[in-house]
Chains A and B, each alone.
Chain A
Amino acid sequence: MTTSAVLRVSNISKNYHVPSPILSKLRPGALRRESLTALDGIDLELRAGEILALVGESGSGKSTLAKILVGSVEASAGQLDYRGLPMPVRRGRDATRRIQMVFQDPYSSLNPRITVGAILAELLKLHKIVPRNEVRAESIRLLNLVGMQEEALDAYPSQFSGGQRQRIAIARALAVRPDVLIADEPVSALDVSVQATILELFTSLRVELGLSILFVAHNLAVVQHLSQRVAVMYLGRIVEVAETAELFANPRHPYTQALIGSIPRMSESSVNLELVLEGEPPSPYDIPSGCRFHPRCPAAVTACREIDPSLTAVAADHQSACLLANELPAFYPVATS
């Protein structure tokens, strides 16, 4: 287990300091909101050659964690190891190369003023991936890898559809031959029929190139199809990690159960008519005491208000941060009728 981890995150936290408005500082006794906790003690490992899905509601810290992994945001505390060695806070060219990112919106993440060929050539030259006279051949190879043709090299991003742009963005991330791809909701801006082709591409990258991929998503049906393991986030914490099949068949955290219960279903027999979760996630300025899920949790007991549970193993390769993880009622996410 230890040897196969490509990226390991230990106890990473991220706080943002938000100065309160000047007028409320003058008012005596005013509520002070100065620190926002985006991530609070995250432990996670990305294993070699796996797709690890990171799911959670907006504001749970998924994107912040993704940004810390690629190095565009600095963690407030904690450590990031790459293949067993600590990642420097200021990454050099080589460290940057190893971990690459694919963004959510392919309409805003590609430079509209330069051709696709120039986008790829820029990286190939800067990182000296291939000799200068082979840049064009390498660019064509990259485009073929993501299912596009040579003609695309001389076109501008605006000439492509959303799905094609996302392919170009993936080719750009692959240009520097990374080991790890961090994909932040790469299919949520795409249509269903196009989404399937991009998911297929991610699977082939994992299988053929042996890439390790962190896939940030909110669509659980997509996650179930694509990933080997799933980590569920809630309000800056990871509340459950397990292999995909295990997590969906045997969720051991009430929040995961609620997420699964909320998935819109395609078959009539499994439409869930129960309102599974009340309320909305609390503000990250003001995190509840004890277990941070207790105000919305249907199973909460008195102890949940006082004890802040940490991630503990509930089965082989399955961790949950719930005091009652082993006492939760049986859960049938898929209708058995």
Chain B
Amino acid sequence: MTTPAPLLSVNNLSLGVVRSGHRPTVIVDDVSFTVAKGERFGIVGESGSGKSLTLRAIAGLLPAGIDALSGSVTYEGRDLFSTSSAARRKLMGPEIAMVFQEPMTALNPVVRVGEQIAEGPRRHLGLSRAAAMALAIEMMAKTGIPDPAKRARAFPHELSGGLRQRIMIAMALSCRPKLLLCDEPTTALDVTVQHQVLRLLEQLCDDFGAALIFVTHDLAVVNQTCDNLAVMYAGHIVESGRVKDVFRDPRHPYTRGLLDSAPDFDQPDRALVPIPGFPPNLADRPSGCAFAPRCIHAQPGCLVASPALESLAPGRSVACIESDSIFQGVPA
């Protein structure tokens, strides 16, 4: 690779529930990707595809009962899974920060928002109480919150959803992290406010040079925000590449199905084509390709083994053994 060492690399990561006497239930299976400095990387998938868990594994916030079964996450050459939790806490904030989906439950309801933002800079940057509060107010102003000095004294319940999400972003960026993890940050917001928040995220990531990992189920949001993306299905990455290329020329039947089933504002007359069937039960995974039971192109070979993610072109991979025959003749 001619590109410099990536900021973050996730290598063959598997996550699941360990059950004594049984094989573990695998929820995220052999996921690998890298994120370069300043890159905006999207992970798209439906509920249960493992996209949020992958993000939480990077942040070290896996829910109780779900463990990393194998693989590693490397941040600037350091293996995060073997780092002590004390060292990891020092990393979270100044290096890696996270924005959650639901700003109401992610903020502490009994602490004023200014103090919540100031907590990170005080702990990690060693600022005094006054200096940290000044930084908090400055960050709030940067995120476009009107009258930040007054709003800093508000409690989360006194603010609207859009303002709360801005507080979350201000908090995440207050220590100038190099990597920002976003778990569906705009799903709970209205369209006009979503538009403002997305623009804000992009702009601040540019200003601070932060890389972004953006998890969402909304293809259109990824198209607006990210450079590269990975599509996840039932715990696997089924396709990855530049957003432009994948949208224009999907090479996995699931990606194609997702694009065909989502309403596109620019093509109002196109019929929506749903994907038949349901995602597999992860506790009882089929032996072959996880998508095969729902795939109209499935061949007997698809039921034999789970296809590996194969490189098609530099930066473009797909996990489908029939990809060439299905998409032959489609302009690249």
Contact = CB atoms under 8 A, between A and B. Distances in A.
Interface of A: 57-58, 161, 191-197, 199-200, 218-222, 224-225, 245, 248, 258-259, 261-268, 270-273, 275-280, 334-335
The 8 closest A-B pairs by CB, nearest first: A264-B220, A262-B195, A196-B274, A193-B275, A196-B261, A57-B190, A191-B46, A221-B263
28 contacts: A57-B193, A192-B261, A193-B257, A193-B258, A195-B261, A196-B273, A197-B274, A200-B272, A219-B191, A222-B263, A224-B263, A264-B194, A264-B198, A264-B223, A265-B220, A265-B264, A266-B262, A266-B264, A266-B265, A266-B266, A267-B223, A268-B244, A268-B247, A273-B199, A276-B192, A279-B146, A280-B162, A334-B266
Interface in B272-291: 272-275, 278
Contacts of B275: 193, 196
Contacts of A191: 46-47, 217
Contacts of B265: 220-221, 224, 263, 265-266, 270, 334
A265 B268 CA distance: 12
Contact of B199 (A194, A221, A245, A275): A275
Contact of A192 (B146, B163, B199, B258): B258
A240 to B, nearest CB: 15
Interface in B293-309: none
Given A58-B190, A264-B224, A266-B219, A275 B195 contact: yes
B128 interface: no
B234 to A, nearest CB: 13
Q: Tell me which of B191, B194, B261, B266 has the highest count of chain A C-beta atoms within 10 A of its own C-beta.
A: B191
A232 B160 CA distance: 21
Given A224-B268, A225-B263, 5 more contacts: A191-B47, A262-B194, A265-B223, A267-B266, A276-B195
Contacts of B218: 192, 264
Nearest to A163: B278
A270 B247 CA distance: 14
B196 interface: yes
Contact of A266 (B192, B196, B223, B278): B223
Interface in B188-223: 190-196, 198-199, 217-221, 223
A195 B263 CA distance: 10
A263 B220 contact: yes
Contacts of A270: 265-266
B191 A263 contact: yes
Nearest to A333: B265
Contacts of B193: 57, 280
B60 interface: no
Contacts of A334: 265-266
B38 interface: no
Contact of B192 (A196, A268, A271, A277): A277
Interface in B159-189: 160-163
Contacts of A225: 263, 268, 272
B266 A194 contact: no
B264 A192 contact: no
Nearest to A270: B266
A192 B217 contact: yes
A220 B217 CA distance: 16
A58 B192 contact: no
A33 to B, nearest CB: 13
A26 to B, nearest CB: 21
A57 B274 contact: no
B191 A194 contact: no
Nearest to B199: A275
Contact of B163 (A57, A219, A275, A280): A280
A199 B217 contact: no
B169 to A, nearest CB: 15
Contact of B191 (A196, A199, A220, A278): A220
B269 to A, nearest CB: 9
Contacts of A262: 191-192, 194-195
Contacts of B220: 221, 263-266
B46 A271 contact: no
Contact of B161 (A58, A161, A245, A275): A58
A247 B218 CA distance: 24
Contact of B278 (A161, A248, A273, A277): A161
Contacts of B47: 191
Contacts of B257: 193
A67 to B, nearest CB: 20
Contact of B196 (A197, A263, A277, A335): A277
Q: Tell me which of A57, A218, A221 has the highest count of chain B C-beta atoms within 10 A of its own C-beta.
A: A221
